[in-house]
Structure 1
Amino acid sequence: MQSTVFTISFVKLLCLTLPGMTAVSAELPSPSNIRITSINMGLVLEWDPPQNHMGNLTYRSEYKWKSIRNSYRVVCLDTTALCCDFTSHLNKFGVYTFQVRAEREGETSHWVETKEFVMDEHTTLGPPSVTLVSSGANIEVSIEDPVLRISEFKEIYNHATFNITYWKEGQEKKVKRMNGIQLHEVVLELEQWTRYCFQVWVVTERFFKQSQPSNVTCESTAKGKDRPWVMALGMFVVMAVSVPLVVLAFWHCYRVVSFLRPKVKLPGHFTVYLLDPQCSSILALQSSPQPDEVYHEVLPTWTQG
């Protein structure tokens, strides 16, 4: 009799428990692999969909600013995307916590929360921009800081230096390094007629952060500048050779022109004679048209003997 009563009680308890078990098993699973991607002070929360999920899910993601507010604020709501960009809502020196959950037709999953994220400490610095300008045997390396999405670079990392590595193209194993460079422009005197490649990192004193490396940029050198005394000697030699050649060329041209266009002058007494008035009248007569000659035909006279 007692065993029968125990069996009935167990069955009743099982019936009362099954609906609750069914409700628990029907609860939406939470998103998985939640992670933060932050480069240059931008921040995107990403996650994977729940495992074995069925139906169309939407997501709700929020953030909380430590020491400023204790409650979460919604940024992305009813989105089907597997990410949410929080950048425009954050402060460059803030400490934040993020959370996300899945939703479907009034059902919700449990929240999945991140660890605390410190913006200026945990963000990844992108690569600097590098420009090379060749001048003879010199190469000028110009570096620009990474561009941050929140604030200016120097407002957050006001003490930063550059690590520069360079090598001859094709000789990557023979790398030369220059660390702790504070200038944004560096001029290197290198070998002539050689192609060099450069790569640069930014290193901040704050949190001892190192940026991603810049793209490998290459430039070729040309012939270097000669020393001043060498240039002066060269100019002297050029002048010593060119001046006589120029004078000789002018003299030769003068002789040729004189031969082709001779300048003949009349003797002095001829000039005086021609300028005399009588001579001028004679010349005028000679130059005037001559009158026609009048003549009569004379017949020969034959004498008879």
Structure 2
Amino acid sequence: MQSTVFTILFVKLLCLTLHGMTAVLAELPSPSNIRITSINMGLVLEWDPPQNHTGNLTYRSEYKGKSIRNSYQVVCLDTTALCCDFTRHLNKFGVYTFQVRAEREGETSHWVETKEFVMDEHTTLGPPSVTLVSSGANIEVSIEDPVLRISEFKEIYNHATFNVAYWKEGQEKKVTRMNGIQLHEVVLELEQWTRYCFQVWVVTERFFKQSQPSNVTCESTAKAKDRPWVMALGMFVVMAVSVPLVVLAFWHCYRVVRFLRPKVKLPGHFTVYLLDPQCSSILALQSSPQPDEVYHEVSIMPGGTETERERPLVDRT
């Protein structure tokens, strides 16, 4: 009798075991390698399809905040894509958990859940933008903060500095570094006629995050220009010398013009006479009447007792 009971129990246990194994074998496998990609406050959940699975699957992905009262909310439903973008549903200071499962014709896999993700702490900062402007031997480095997808950069990381590295092109091993720069514009005085390359990182005081490096940007210097005070002094000297010379030149020009074109005019008949080509000073003298000769009789009286009369001499003057 006892053997019969044991046999019945063994058969039932075997049936239950086989049923359980069948259920496990028939259960839809879950997605694998679930991961979060977050750059500049954007967030995308990604995963791989179930291993060793053939057939058409769709996926359902959800998220919830840290609060216990919050329940999961669906963002992507019946999608065949292996990713889901949650960015527009999230807050810049939020703490979230994400989950995804596979579905097929009413069958579902188990949920695969992520760890908690803190947006402002765990997101990766993209590279800053860098612009170079060359002026003589100087290069001005202009830096722009990374552009966040759900907030302004300074609203979250308001105490950020820049690390700048630069080197001569072709000499990457001889790098000069400047860390902790707070300004968005830096002017460097470098060697003339040399090409320099720059790379910049952002470092935040909040969570001590370091951004991805900027693209390597290169620019060439030219001949050094004079310093502003030297140029100003040179201009002053030039003005101090040139202004009196210009004034003196104008004064001489004025005097020459006054001499050639005096304000006092000759009488009309003088002007006509002088402008007549048939008249000249020589002809005028030849045609004028000769003056009358004037003379006086002079007597010469010799010394002695006797006086002799001499021939009168004529003094023609």
Same fold judged by TM-score > 0.5? Answer: yes
Give the 3 Å change call, closer, same or farther, for CA 178–266 of structure 1 in structure 2: same
Report deviation, 1:53.
1.2
Q: Is the 8 A contact 2:296 2:315 kept in 1?
A: no
Deviation digits for residues 100-121 of structure 1 (CA, Å, limit 9, x no counterpart): 0000011111000000000000
> Cα 1:181–1:68, aligned 2, differ >3 Å: closer, same or farther?
farther
Report the secondary structure of 2:24's partner residue: helix
TM-score (norm 2): 0.73
What do residues 222-244 of structure 1 show as CA deviations (whole Å, max 9, x unaligned)? 11113578768988999999999
User: Is contact 2:295-2:315 (8 Å) kept?
Assistant: no
Q: Closer, same or farther in 2 for the Cα pair 1:172/1:292, shift >3 Å? A: farther
Tell me, yes or no, if the aligned pair for 2:32 and 2:48 is still in contact at 8 Å: yes
Displaced runs of 4 or more, over 6 A: 232-298, 300-305
Q: Note the alpha carbon deviations across 1:128-179, whole angstroms, 9 max, x for none.
A: 0000000011100000000000110000100000000001111111100110
Report the alpha carbon displacement of residue 12 of structure 1 after superposing the two structures with TM: 3.8
- 1:55-94 per-residue CA deviation (whole Å, 9 max, x = no partner) reads 1010000001112743100000000000000000000000
Deviations 1:204-223 (A, max 9, x none): 00000000000000000011
Query: Which deviates the most, 243-252 or 195-204?
Result: 243-252
More moved, 66-75 vs 149-158: 66-75
Q: Which moved more, 1:287-296 or 1:17-26?
A: 287-296
Q: Which has the larger radius of gyration?
A: 2
Query: What is the TM-score when the length of structure 1 is the normalising length?
Result: 0.76
> Structure 1 stretches of 5 or more lacking a match?
none
Superposed CA RMSD in Å reads 11.3
> In the superposition, relative to structure 1, how do residues 105 and 295 fare at CA in structure 2: closer, same or farther (>3 Å)?
farther
Superposed CA deviations along residues 174-207 of structure 1, whole A, max 9, x for unmatched, are: 1001100000000011111110000000000000
CA distance in 2, matches of 1:83, 1:186: 41
What is the alpha-carbon distance in structure 1 between the residues aligned to residue 266 and residue 9 of structure 2?
Answer: 159
**Which whole-Å CA distance do the structure 2 matches of 1:43 and 1:304 have between them?**
134
Deviation sequence 1:245-283 (CA, Å, 0-9, x none):
999999999999999999999999999889889999999
Cα separation, partners in 2 of 1:66 and 1:270, compared to 1, 3 Å: closer
**SS of residue matched to 2:245:** helix
Structure 2 residue 237 is the aligned partner of structure 1 residue 240? no
| % identity of equivalent residues | 94
User: Do structure 1's residue 260 and structure 2's residue 272 form an aligned pair?
Assistant: no
Unaligned stretches of 5+ residues in structure 2? 299-311
Aligned to 1:304: 316
